[in-house]
């Protein structure tokens, strides 16, 4: 007899495939045989429409620093909703939030709000070009910087396309990317000072900026070395280019962002994700001289900039509330929980003999199904065997009640305690053991 039992999620996915490519609006939520559909979130937990509860270590791709439905954020946003969601006028909250963010980081002299991390990076590259009058951008091989043509070059190269290690190729992510975009992007090997400087020296007259994430997720979630960052800062200063930092995910790592921990002051910084308190937001911040290319009343106005929903009072209200709650004590506590998780996972790797390692810092970590810590994108690149083991681990964790980013990355939230961390460590250990039993 044919089994006719279906789930609400299966029914929803069948409907979704009729109206959305692949049945989703973002590929990261896809699972076999269908996505899980959330019903509600409470603190660090998500309950799906089937009633299954899981601990959320994804936090919507690092964007929820206080987990789900934090009472203070919910109350502040509800009060603002009753007043209105968007106006063709500025708001006091926009000013208050800008003051708060500038006070957190010495490198933020002025800032502008946008609607996403991608949009912040787009604005950063345009501002760098406007300020310098130069067209080219340099970025690290494998680094993700959003969905802008120039920022996504060599985001996902493969061995067949990535070229020589001493001279990485500019590889398109999307079919049909203009060759002109490829020609304007210079690709650098992560954490390799000598080779990167040699490449940069070939473009001294054309480079508007060097763009870097100080702990790039897709490169392996290993921190940039101080020597690498300082070399890029020195090179850009000497040659009249700008240093642009992508702190869309790393701003959570320290009270003033990872740049304050490493000790580098960029010309521009792009922010997003968790600074929206659960709502879409982006910020471009930097030194006054550069930011003033967007000032229509200034003497160096070169970049007309606006946006219908930029600095909307819902996002700025939620963001200001969230960031005021994420004070230095909260940052230190979450970072300590991450250290506990990484230590416990390393012990689980050792006790099971798993071919795995863990990288990260601040309040994020990533598990790789390889024994040695990757130092760059090519070392982090997963083989077919590693991807099979990773899928087993991710499926095991999901079945055991944990939501991870699909690279087996975790981004912690403030509602978490040692209990949730220790539960995840136990889930990792049983997952490693399961993989060992299959090999």
Exactly one of 126, 136, 273, 355 is catalytic; name it: 273
> What does the pLDDT look like over 33-80, one tens digit per residue?
999 999 999 999 999 999 999 999 999 999 999 999 999 999 999 999
Mean pLDDT on 346-361: 97
Cis peptide before 215 (omega within 30 of 0): no
At what angle are helices 418-438 and 328-352 packed, to 10 degrees? Answer: 30
Exactly one of 126, 136, 139, 144 is catalytic; name it: 144
Tell me how far apart the alpha carbons of residues 378 and 222 are, in angstroms, rounded to a whole number. Answer: 13
> Domains plus CATH for the chain?
36-65+327-438 (3.90.1150.10), 71-325 (3.40.640.10)
Mean pLDDT on 322-345: 98
Are residues 31 and 37 in contact, defined by beta-carbon separation less than 8 angstroms?
Answer: no
Tell me how far apart the alpha carbons of residues 323 and 418 are, in angstroms, rounded to a whole number. Answer: 23
Tell me how far apart the alpha carbons of residues 39 and 254 are, in angstroms, rounded to a whole number. Answer: 32
> What does the pLDDT look like over 151-166, one tens digit per residue?
999 999 999 999 999 8
**Cα R_g (the chain), whole angstroms:** 22
**Catalytic status, residue 246:** yes
Edge-first strand order for the sheet with 207-212 is 110-114, 282-286, 268-272, 242-246, 207-212, 136-140, 185-188
**Catalytic status, residue 206:** no
Q: What is the pLDDT of residue 2?
A: 35
How many C-beta atoms lie closer than 10 Å to residue 283's C-beta? 28
Tell me how far apart the alpha carbons of residues 183 and 160 are, in angstroms, rounded to a whole number. Answer: 19
Residue with tokens 């495939």: 17
3-state secondary structure of 227: helix
Tokens of 291: 């930011």
Q: What is the pLDDT of residue 262?
A: 94
Mean pLDDT on 18-44: 94
Number of alpha carbons in the 13 Å side-chain half-sphere of residue 428: 32
Mean pLDDT on 201-205: 97
How many C-beta atoms lie closer than 10 Å to residue 325's C-beta? 15
Nearest residue to 191 (alpha-carbon basis) of 405, 373, 382, 410:
373
pLDDT of 416 strictly over 50 = yes
Mean pLDDT on 385-395: 97
Are residues 427 and 397 in contact, defined by beta-carbon separation less than 8 angstroms?
Answer: yes
Query: How high does pLDDT run on average in the chain?
Result: 96
Name every residue whose Cβ is closer than 8 Å to that of residue 287 and which is 6 or more positions away in sequence: 107, 109, 110, 267, 268
Tell me how far apart the alpha carbons of residues 268 and 125 are, in angstroms, rounded to a whole number. Answer: 9
CA distances from 332 to 194, 238, 248 (A): 34, 36, 19
pLDDT-derived band of residue 5, with 50, 70 and 90 as boundaries? low
Q: What is the pLDDT of residue 439?
A: 72
Tell me how far apart the alpha carbons of residues 168 and 162 are, in angstroms, rounded to a whole number. Answer: 6
Mean pLDDT on 395-423: 98
Tell me how far apart the alpha carbons of residues 161 and 81 are, in angstroms, rounded to a whole number. Answer: 49
> What does the pLDDT look like over 367-385, one tens digit per residue?
999 999 999 999 999 999 9
Exactly one of 48, 56, 213, 246 is catalytic; name it: 246
CA distances from 8 to 38, 292, 395, 396, 401 (A): 11, 52, 20, 22, 19
Mean pLDDT on 245-271: 97
Task: List 110's β-bridge partners, or say none.
Answer: 286
> CA torsion 214→256→291→207, rounded to 10°?
-10
pTM exceeding the 0.85 threshold for the entire prediction: yes
**Catalytic status, residue 148:** no
């Amino acid at each position: 007899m044919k089994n006719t039992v279906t789930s609400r999620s299966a029914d929803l996915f069948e409907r979704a495939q009729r109206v959305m490519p692949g049945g989703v609006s973002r590929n990261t939520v896809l699972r076999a045989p269908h996505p899980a559909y959330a019903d509600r979130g409470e603190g660090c937990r998500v309950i799906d429409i089937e009633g299954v509860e899981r601990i959320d270590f994804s936090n919507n791709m690092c964007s929820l620093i206080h987990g789900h439905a934090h009472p203070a954020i919910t109350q502040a946003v509800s009060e603002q909703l009753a007043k209105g969601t968007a106006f063709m006028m500025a708001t006091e909250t926009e000013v208050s939030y800008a003051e708060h963010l500038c006070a957190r980081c010495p490198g933020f002299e002025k800032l502008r709000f946008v609607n996403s991390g991608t949009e912040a990076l787009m604005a950063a590259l345009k501002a760098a070009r406007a300020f310098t009058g130069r067209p080219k951008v340099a970025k690290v091989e494998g680094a993700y910087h959003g969905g802008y043509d120039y920022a996504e070059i060599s985001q996902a190269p493969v061995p067949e396309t990535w070229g020589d290690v001493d001279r990485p190729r500019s590889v398109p992510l999307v079919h049909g990317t203009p060759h002109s975009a490829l020609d304007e992007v210079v690709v650098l090997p992560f954490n390799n000072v000598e080779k990167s400087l040699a490449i940069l020296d070939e473009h001294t007259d054309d480079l508007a900026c060097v763009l870097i994430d100080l702990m790039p997720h897709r490169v392996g979630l290993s921190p940039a070395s101080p020597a690498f960052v300082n070399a890029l800062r020195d090179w850009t200063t000497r040659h009249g280019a700008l240093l642009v930092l992508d702190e869309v995910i790393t701003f959570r790592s320290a009270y003033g962002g990872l740049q304050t921990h490493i000790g580098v002051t960029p010309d521009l910084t792009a922010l997003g994700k968790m600074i929206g308190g659960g709502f879409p937001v982006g910020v471009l911040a930097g030194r006054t001289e550069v930011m003033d290319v967007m000032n229509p009343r200034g003497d160096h106005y070169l970049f007309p900039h606006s946006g219908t929903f930029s600095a909307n009072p819902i996002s700025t209200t939620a963001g200001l509330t969230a960031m005021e709650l994420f004070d230095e004590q909260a940052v230190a506590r979450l970072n300590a929980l991450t250290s506990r998780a990484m230590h416990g996972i390393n012990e689980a790797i050792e006790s099971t003999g798993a071919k795995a390692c863990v990288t990260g810092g601040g309040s994020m970590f990533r598990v790789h199904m390889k024994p040695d810590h990757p130092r760059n994108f090519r070392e982090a690149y997963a083989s077919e065997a590693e991807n099979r083991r990773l899928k087993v681990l991710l499926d095991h964790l999901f079945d055991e009640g944990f939501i991870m980013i699909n690279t087996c990355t975790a981004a912690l939230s403030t509602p978490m305690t040692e209990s949730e961390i220790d539960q995840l460590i136990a889930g990792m250990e049983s997952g490693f053991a399961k993989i060992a039993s299959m090999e």
